[in-house]
Structure 1
Amino acid sequence: MAQRVSGVKASVGFVSETGPRKRNEDFAGAVFGSELPEPRRDVVAALSDGIGSTKGGREAAEIAVRGFLDGFCDLPETMEVRRAAAIVLNALNGWIYSQAHRDPELSGMGCTFTALVLRGRVAHVLHVGDSRAYRLSRDRLTCLTSDHVRQGGKGGGRSNVLTRALGVETELRLDYGTQPVAQHDRFLLCSDGVHGYLADEFIAGIMQERVSSEDTARALVAAALDAGSADNCTALVLDVVGLATAETADIGANIAQLPLVPVPQGGETIDGFVLKVLLSDGRYTRLFGAEDEVEGGEVALKFPKPMVAGVDAYRAAFIREAWVGARVNSPWLGHVIELPPGRQSCLYTVMPLYQGELLETRIARRPALGLEEGRQIAIKLARAAAALHRVGIVHRDIKPDNVILESGGSLKLIDLGVVRVPGMEDAPPEDIPGTPAYMAPEMFDGEAGNEATDIYALGVTMFRAFTGEFPYGNPDATSRPRRDRPAHLSALRPDLPAWLQAAIGRAIARDPADRFRDMAEFAVEIEAGPARAPVAVHRPRTLYEREPLRFWQGVAALLALALLLSLWRR
């Protein structure tokens, strides 16, 4: 089943099998906030495994899951997830504990409990016992919980003696954690009848097969039973299909609390990121390649240089970058990684560590950019900008320095710090951000940036990519255009076709009305260009084309003969 809740879209499927046991003591369930009488933005899933050695294991598991889903959703949505969950689970723990000591038919009842609350762009994990929660992100599986068991004694090297569970102690000792959520993430809640008989690598392999959430849950349970599971087997799979739009005010409030620190030099560890190598040291920012010791993997961290610009300007740039990174998904746009609440202690941006070279570097390298290579770059850049334009965002700084060419022909348009976001205007007309040589003429007259100015910047970028020159005679990327008319692409690159000159010339027209209507039209024009090229006409080659030396020797002989005739007549 799938449901949209204030912009969040998730799909949940779960399967539970009794296995060789006499009865199934597992229980799982999920609630979508929009299904409630008073709609809310949460997606909540929970799973419990009743303690099999007691009389009321199944009852405890069902009470825990149903009670949590009902009780949590009855509390105000403005209450923090951790606090709301603790209120509900402490009450359930007390009730189950009292019933186990009061009713002989339920003596010793208790259960494990693992829950996932998806709110906004953060997943909250609540856990006690030996059921588990996993997260599959970009095909990497991570276990989000720790088993509360006494080691040894059970087949496979695991113990069924719980050291913590719901309803077995007067005071509940609950684990709590958060995870940032990305679109297409998969979460798994499962009982030990599944994870106790399947290696994590095997679980990851099944999770990586992008079938429906219910089919994935069924495959996990079937695999555990085939592996000889002697327990009940339950798996709940939650797929994040779409994410809520990050609210500008929320992002701004979070970033406003982060202090600016002296720019790191490298070799330091900040919030679990080990700064390994300096990637770039620009005027406004310093970029490091880093190792994430918490989540694992390599990332890039961008730190501001506070001595260059005002603190407010930096905060505004980082708010824009975080907002866009949270809202726009495109294979051609650089991604911004959101950190879970509480991890980030100062102002910086975390991004994937893209492998490749800048387009600016490629321009300086020989041989010059060929037609097909350049076409593909132009098409993908246009699609990246179009993804921004579809949600009302203008990049405002498209240039070769902000394009990473990856291996295999992919690319990323990066640096979202000066984007123009609806409702987040930041610059007066005399201080519009951007790089002058790529800024459309109207931006020097106060235009803050729109689709037409991005088209102009992309046109200048591609003119430089093919020729190494600026079309309007700028000696560098920091000065305004010098000429009223652009240079001809064909004069600098006579090997390139006329249709390319026409397409780029239209993109860099001084009058916005003469440019393409949108980025999609520009992409279509570049993509269809070769099909519109005139067919070459085959003809016999002239003497000059076949034998240029003999041609000029003949011309010289004719001129000499003409000179002799002229002298003879005199």
Structure 2
Amino acid sequence: MFRPEDLIGKQIDQFRLDRFIARGAMGIVYKAFDTVLARTVALKLISRQVTDGLSTQDINAQEEARKRLIQEAKAAGRLTHPNIITIHSYGESENFDYICMEYVTGKTLTQLLNVRKILPIEEAIPIIEQVLMALDAASREQIVHRDIKPSNIMITEDGRVKVMDFGIAKLPSLSMTTTGTVLGTPYYMSPEQISGQKLDSRSDIFSLGAVMYQVLTGERPFEAENTATLVYKIVQTEPIPAKIRNSSVSESVSNMIIKAMAKNPGQRYQTPREMLQALKAILSPGAGEVREESDATIIASGDEFEMTLQADKAALAPSPMGPGVSEVSTPPREELPPSPSEQKSSDQGAPSGVPGRSTEAQPGKGDTETVKRKGGVGPPAASKPATVTKATTSPPVTTKPKPSLPPKTTGLN
């Protein structure tokens, strides 16, 4: 009976196996030392030997694992990105096929969630952001990961995210499986992936939306007791919104998850870059919750103003007087020339508020008065929505007769 620990200390080609790390359905991973380049690496092994007693199904699974190993080397080997595990080489020995890859220390997202269940938004968002950057790099090479899930997301000790396991990735020119073959982890698979349809990067976006949902709520978006029920839920039902599962999840983040997990790929973010930009827009200072334009409020400090679009609309609304409400014509009025005493008083400066006097230039005959807002042209203060008041004609200005002149009488017959 083979045990992974039995290989510790053994050498495969130029690699010395120092420590067993993990074993999965698709291979065994060791921490190893490259004796030629003198560096620590990770080595994923797939046995080439057919063990006696294996069933036909097990033999087929082993062959499938070898194909996936080669697929991973081809897919990830084309990608050089700080958020993707780097593949150094692929090789074959007498007993094993292997890929040599970057060795990183840290924990998978699955291990992190097993301990903490829910991550705070300020910790979760940087993880999602880095996964999106990795998917963006893969998308530019027309590579679909097809198995985005917490166990394939590594968080290093310094907080860097590394996307792993491109073993079932779909390459642009070579697909290990034909359309109709379902590969992946059901809980995070997109409806089109479950249905065996043609995939693109929008399938990875759905899977990441499901991961994001779990990270922020502590629950997977779809749960079921059997595969058939799970498949039905993923294809036909909507998950409970994340903001209902966890009240600390904002409306905008909850809506982002809903969009990422739309059943129809055309209603999702169309590329990882688009989702990344939307995520950054939510997190940018002052972005806040997503609001309708009609409800937007701009608040300024100091001598600036606070403006609402509602007030602006009121200011621009048509006047019952017709177009041009900001300019109201008044009939010309005659003014008697001021007396010498009044002229003297005027030269010294009339106090504000004196009846019949204006602190602004009076319009002359045939001129037009312009209704102005206090403080110059511009939006009114938020505390008082802008209004336009119909101008009224001032009464004719009369002067008190001088004592030396005979009194002037006026009256109505």
Which TM bucket (shorter chain)?
A: 0.5 to 0.7
TM-score (norm 2): 0.61
Segments of 5+ residues of structure 1 without an aligned counterpart are 1-260, 538-570
Alignment partner of 1:266 is 2:7:
yes
Partner AA of 1:449 in structure 2: L
Once the two structures are TM-superposed, the CA of residue 429 in structure 1 deviates from its matched residue by 3.3
Paired with 2:25 and 2:112, the residues of 1 have a C-alpha distance of 22
Q: Deviations over 1:486-513 (max 9, x none)?
A: 1110122111211110111110111112
Supply the distance in 2 between the matched residues of 1:309 and 1:502 (Cα, whole angstroms).
45
User: In the TM superposition, what whole-angstrom CA distance separates every residue of 1:151-199 from its partner, at most 9, and x where no partner exists?
Assistant: xxxxxxxxxxxxxxxxxxxxxxxxxxxxxxxxxxxxxxxxxxxxxxxxx
The structure 2 residue matched to 1:517, chosen from 270, 285, 289, is 270
What is aligned with 1:299? 41
- Counterpart CA distance in 1 for 2:272 and 2:165 is 19
Alignment partner, residue 46 of structure 1: none
Contact 1:437 1:476 in 2 (8 A): no
Counterparts of 2:87 and 2:224 in 1: how far apart (Å)? 33
Residue 125 of structure 2 is aligned to residue 375 of structure 1: yes
Report deviation, 1:274.
Answer: 2.1
- State the 1:409 CA deviation: 2.0
Alpha-carbon separation, structure 1, partners of 2:19 and 2:227: 27
Q: Which amino acid aligns with 1:510?
A: K
1:276 aligns with 2:42: no
1:325 aligns with 2:69: no
Mapped to 2, the partners of 1:364 and 1:516 lie a distance apart of: 29
**Per the alignment, in what secondary structure is the counterpart of residue 505 of structure 1?**
helix
| Aligned partner of residue 338 in structure 1, secondary structure | strand
Q: 2:103 aligns with which of 353, 356, 364?
A: 353
For 1:451 and 1:428, locate their aligned partners in 2 and report how far apart those are by CA, in whole Å.
Answer: 17
**Corresponding position of 1:414:** 164
Q: Distance in 2 between matches of 1:453 and 1:404?
A: 20
Equivalent pair of 1:474/1:481 in contact (CA under 8 Å): no
Q: In the alignment, residue 527 of structure 1 is paired with which amino acid?
A: K
Q: Which has the larger radius of gyration?
A: 2
Deviation at 1:446, TM superposition (A): 1.9
Alignment-derived partner of residue 338 in structure 1 = 89
The answer to whether 1:315 aligns with 2:56 is: no
In structure 2, distance between residues paired with 1:431 and 1:264: 34
In the alignment, the residues of structure 2 paired with residue 491 and residue 515 of structure 1 have an alpha-carbon distance, to the nearest angstrom, of 21
- 1:283 offset after TM fit, Å? 2.2
Distance 1:380 1:280, change over 3 A: same
| CA deviation map 1:463-496 (0-9, x unaligned) | 1111221112346999535360111101221112
1:410 to 1:477, Cα distance in 2 relative to 1, 3 A = farther
Partner deviation per Cα, 1:24-68 (whole Å, 9 max, x = no partner):
xxxxxxxxxxxxxxxxxxxxxxxxxxxxxxxxxxxxxxxxxxxxx
Which secondary structure does the structure 1 equivalent of 2:101 belong to? Answer: strand
Would you say the 8 A contact 2:83–2:161 is kept in 1? yes
Give secondary structure in 2 for the equivalent of 1:429.
coil
Q: Any idea what SS the aligned residue of 1:495 has? A: coil
Question: What percentage of residue pairs aligned between the two structures are identical?
Answer: 25
SS at match of 1:485: coil
Alpha-carbon separation, structure 2, partners of 1:474 and 1:501:
22
Match of 2:259 among 492, 506, 515: 506
1:384 corresponding residue in structure 2: 134
Pairs aligned (count): 276
- Matched ranges for 1:59-70 at <5 A: none
Residue in structure 2 matched with residue 454 of structure 1 by the alignment: 204
- 8 Å CA contact 2:41, 2:101 repeated in 1: yes
Give, in whole Å, the separation in 2 of the partners of 1:533 and 1:353.
Answer: 39
1:359–1:442 Cα change, 3 Å: same
Distance 1:460 1:290 in 2: 34
Distance 2:245 2:148 in 1: 22
Letter in 1 for 2:178: P
2:283 is aligned, of 530, 535, 539, to 530
Alpha carbons 1:472, 1:487 under 8 Å: kept: no
| Contact kept in structure 1, 2:46 and 2:69, CA below 8 Å | no
Contact 2:252/2:289 (CA < 8 Å) preserved in 1?
Answer: no
Q: Which residue of 2 aligns with 1:217?
A: none
For the 8 Å contact 1:472–1:481, the answer to whether it is kept is: no
Letter in 2 for 1:431: T
Q: Return the offset for 1:312.
A: 4.3
What runs of 5+ residues in structure 2 fail to find an aligned partner? 291-296, 298-413
Q: 1:342-395 CA deviation, whole Å, 9 max, x = no partner? A: 989730111121111000111122273111111111111011011011011110
Structure 2 Cα separation of the partners of residues 438 and 412 of structure 1: 18
Match of 2:187 among 437, 440, 443: 437
1:296, distance to aligned residue in structure 2 (A): 1.5
Q: Does the aligned pair in 1 maintain the 2:46–2:96 contact within 8 Å?
A: no
Distance 1:464 1:304 in 2: 32
Aligned partner of residue 408 in structure 1, secondary structure: coil
Spell out the pairing of 1:45-56 with structure 2 (5 A cutoff).
Answer: none
Separation of aligned partners in 2, 1:534 and 1:416: 36
Q: Residue 430 of structure 1: CA displacement?
A: 3.6
Matches of 1:342 and 1:460 in 2, distance apart? 37
CA RMSD after TM alignment = 2.9
The 1:441/1:410 distance shift into structure 2, 3 A limit, reads same
* 2:175 is aligned with 1:399: no
Q: Is the 8 A contact 2:146 2:184 kept in 1?
A: yes
| CA–CA distance in structure 1, aligned partners of residues 118 and 77 of structure 2 | 36
User: What residue is the counterpart of 2:374 in the other structure?
Assistant: none
In structure 2, the CA distance between the partners of 1:320 and 1:342, relative to structure 1 (3 Å rule), is closer
Native 8 Å contact 1:263 1:304 kept in 2 = no
User: What is the match of residue 31 of structure 1?
Assistant: none
Q: Which has the higher helix share?
A: 1
What is the identity, as a one-letter code, of the residue corresponding to 1:388? A
2:28 is the alignment partner of 1:286 = yes
**Cα offsets for 1:423-475 (capped at 9, x unmatched):** 21222334221111111111222214211111101101111111221112346
Change (3 A) 1:510 1:358: same
